[in-house]
């Protein structure tokens, strides 16, 4: 198959890790007889320096013309003093909006080879952790109107509006159910329906949508309980379906307990536009240019790009197997280093995965 992939390296370690990820995609294309055309575009601080904007129109056009978008990371101290509208991070929010990316998928997986890095007690970690948070990304209290700051009765008062309509809930629920179909067919929907009207509608529409997926086992959990259960026994979860604000918090919690920020990929999907695939970590300015960054989160985001963005599950599995074998062979970047393992850097780790593809 012939596919176009837009590469957005960004800032800090972004270009280093994305180079390794793109090399893996090239190797997969060669192995399976595909032709991947890579188009580079600017985003974040790199775009600000070159064009004065964190998301130039040319980048949006390149993304819209591609079959999938592969991003490194943006941001860094160089641009910390920039005005809010021209901070590098605006580039990411802008591209999500421009492409209508309403679903964010974050797998959190405890690789058996990295069990030592897990922040949970050994007996809890031993039960396993392999879940996906499916988070709605373009609605909820972050976008609802009215919002504002004003004086009420002489007191400074801030307010936001938690808001979802049934269509927004239905489309993200479908993504969660479809994700679960390819896994162990269990979805837990998170809400606060004991207090919030928005959550009552959420639960109702999720239940209605579930009728279309009779093979799925659906459960519901209040968000406060979900936060607790994630550290008490994460092995009970497969797909966690959440709104924007609950998912923002729970997806960070679910992924960070694996202990390896440099291992965690993500995907953001829209209705028709290409999806965007990126590691969950930032641009790590403290280690940029030192070849210490772990490229595996980016390489695994490449696997998500193949599976969800280009419909190539076998090719995705090939990358995931190569990562697994590289870890089993003992290779470790500094962030996941343990005694007795083989120290390597960003390029070295990329090379080891390539060899196994
Ligand atoms: P960060 O994720 O960049 O770094 C946090 C810590 O984790 C650092 O010590 C870093 O060295 C380490 N780390 C991160 N990725 C790593 C990897 N692949 N391998 C090894 N170690 C890794 O978060 P931060 O320091 O809070 O933010 C730095 C910049 O990144 C900021 O400008 C922030 O706005 C931006 N940021 C961007 C994104 C994105 O592009 N999606 C996400 C989060 C933060």
What DSSP letter does each residue of 265-287 carry, written as one string? EEEEE-SSSPEEEEESS---GGG
- Indicate the top mutation candidate among 283, 335, 343, 344 to test ligand 1's pocket, ranked by most ligand atoms within 8 A of CB: 283
Q: What pLDDT does residue 256 have?
A: 85
| pLDDT class of 111 with cuts at 50, 70, 90 | confident
Residue 240 neighbours by CB under 8 Å, 6+ apart: 131, 132, 133, 134, 187, 188, 190, 226, 247, 250, 254
Q: How many residues does the chain have?
A: 357
Other CB atoms within 10 Å distance of the CB of residue 259:
18
Beta bridge partners of 269: 103
Of the candidates 130, 143, 203, 248, the residue annotated as catalytic is 248
For residue 83, pLDDT over 90 is answered with no
Atom of ligand 1 nearest to the CA of 44: 40
CB of residue 335 inside a 6 A radius of ligand 1: yes
Q: What pLDDT does residue 258 have?
A: 86
- Kindly report, residue by residue over 175-210, the tens digit of the pLDDT: 999 999 989 999 999 999 999 999 999 999 999 999
User: 112 or 56: which carries more pLDDT confidence?
Assistant: 56
Name the strand (E) or helix (H) holding 51: helix 44-51
| pLDDT class of 211 with cuts at 50, 70, 90 | very high
DSSP conformation letters of 149-215: EEEETTEEEEE------HHHHHHHHHHHHHHHHTTTSEEEEEE-TTT-HHHHHHHHHHHHHHTT-TT
What is the 169 CA–ligand 1 centroid distance (Å)?
31
What is the 265 CA–ligand 1 centroid distance (Å)?
13
Atom of ligand 1 nearest to the CA of 281: 2
Beta bridge partners of 239: 132, 187
- Mean pLDDT for the stretch of residues 97-109: 93
Q: How far apart are CA 287 and CA 265, in angstroms?
A: 19
Question: Of 42-56, 85-99, 163-177, which range is least confident?
Answer: 85-99
In this structure, what token pair is assigned to residue 123?
Answer: 């007996």
In this structure, what token pair is assigned to residue 204?
Answer: 């109702």
**Whether 224 is catalytic:** yes
Q: What pLDDT does residue 81 have?
A: 87
Q: What pLDDT does residue 272 have?
A: 81
For residue 53, pLDDT over 80 is answered with yes
What is the 283 CA–ligand 1 centroid distance (Å)?
4
Q: How far apart are CA 269 and CA 159, in angstroms?
A: 29
Q: Are strands 103-109 and 130-136 parallel, antiparallel or unpaired?
A: antiparallel
**Whether 191 is catalytic:** no
- Mean pLDDT for the stretch of residues 24-34: 98
**Whether 252 is catalytic:** yes
- Mean pLDDT for the stretch of residues 35-43: 98
Beta bridge partners of 39: 6
Residue nearest to atom 20 of ligand 1 (CA): 293
- Kindly report, residue by residue over 221-244, the tens digit of the pLDDT: 999 999 999 999 999 999 999 999
CB of residue 75 inside a 6 A radius of ligand 1: yes
What is the 75 CA–ligand 1 centroid distance (Å)?
9
Q: What pLDDT does residue 112 have?
A: 86
- Mean pLDDT for the stretch of residues 45-55: 96
Q: What pLDDT does residue 118 have?
A: 87
Atom of ligand 1 nearest to the CA of 286: 11
Average pLDDT, the chain: 95
What is the 282 CA–ligand 1 centroid distance (Å)?
3
Q: How far apart are CA 176 and CA 171, in angstroms?
A: 9
The answer to whether 198 and 164 have CB atoms below 8 angstroms apart is: yes
- Angstrom distances, CA of residue 296 to CA of 96, 153, 285: 23, 54, 18
Atom of ligand 1 nearest to the CA of 335: 20
User: Does residue 246 have a cis peptide bond before it, meaning omega lies within 30 degrees of 0?
Assistant: no
Atom of ligand 1 nearest to the CA of 284: 3
Q: How far apart are CA 148 and CA 187, in angstroms?
A: 35
Query: Ramachandran region of residue 52, left (φ > 0), alpha (ψ -120 to 50) or beta?
Result: left
Other CB atoms within 10 Å distance of the CB of residue 184:
12
CB of residue 281 inside a 6 A radius of ligand 1: yes
């Amino acid at each position: 198959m012939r596919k176009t992939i837009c590469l957005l390296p960004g800032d800090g370690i972004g270009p280093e890790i994305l180079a390794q990820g793109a090399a893996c995609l090239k190797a997969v294309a060669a192995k399976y007889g595909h032709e991947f055309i890579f188009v580079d575009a600017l985003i974040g601080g790199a775009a600000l320096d070159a064009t004065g904007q964190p998301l130039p129109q040319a980048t949006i056009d390149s993304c819209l013309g591609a079959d999938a978008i592969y991003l490194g990371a943006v941001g860094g101290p160089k641009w910390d003093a920039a005005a809010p509208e021209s901070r590098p991070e605006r580039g990411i929010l802008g591209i999500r909006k421009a492409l209508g990316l309403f679903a964010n998928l974050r797998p959190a997986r405890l690789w058996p080879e990295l069990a030592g890095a897990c922040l949970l007690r050994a007996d809890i970690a031993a039960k396993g952790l392999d879940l996906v948070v499916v988070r709605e990304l373009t609605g909820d209290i972050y976008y609802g109107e009215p919002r504002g700051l004003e004086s009420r009765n002489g007191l400074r008062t801030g307010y936001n509006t938690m808001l979802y309509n049934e269509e927004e809930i239905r489309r993200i629920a479908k993504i969660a159910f479809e994700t679960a179909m390819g896994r162990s067919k269990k979805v837990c929907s998170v809400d606060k329906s004991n207090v919030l009207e928005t959550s009552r509608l959420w639960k109702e529409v999720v239940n209605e949508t579930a009728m279309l997926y009779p093979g799925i086992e659906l459960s519901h959990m209040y968000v406060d309980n979900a936060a607790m259960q994630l550290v008490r026994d994460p092995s009970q979860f497969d797909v966690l379906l959440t709104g924007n604000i609950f998912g923002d918090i729970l997806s960070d919690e679910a992924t960070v307990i694996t202990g390896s920020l440099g291992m965690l990929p993500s995907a953001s999907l829209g209705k028709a536009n290409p999806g965007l695939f990126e590691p969950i970590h930032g641009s790590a300015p403290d280690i940029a240019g030192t070849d210490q960054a772990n490229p595996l989160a980016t390489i695994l985001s490449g696997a998500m790009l193949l599976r969800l963005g280009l419909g190539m599950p076998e090719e995705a599995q090939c990358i995931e197997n190569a990562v697994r074998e590289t870890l089993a062979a003992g290779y470790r970047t500094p962030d996941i280093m343990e005694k007795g393992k083989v120290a390597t850097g960003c390029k070295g780790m990329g090379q080891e995965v390539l060899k196994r593809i």
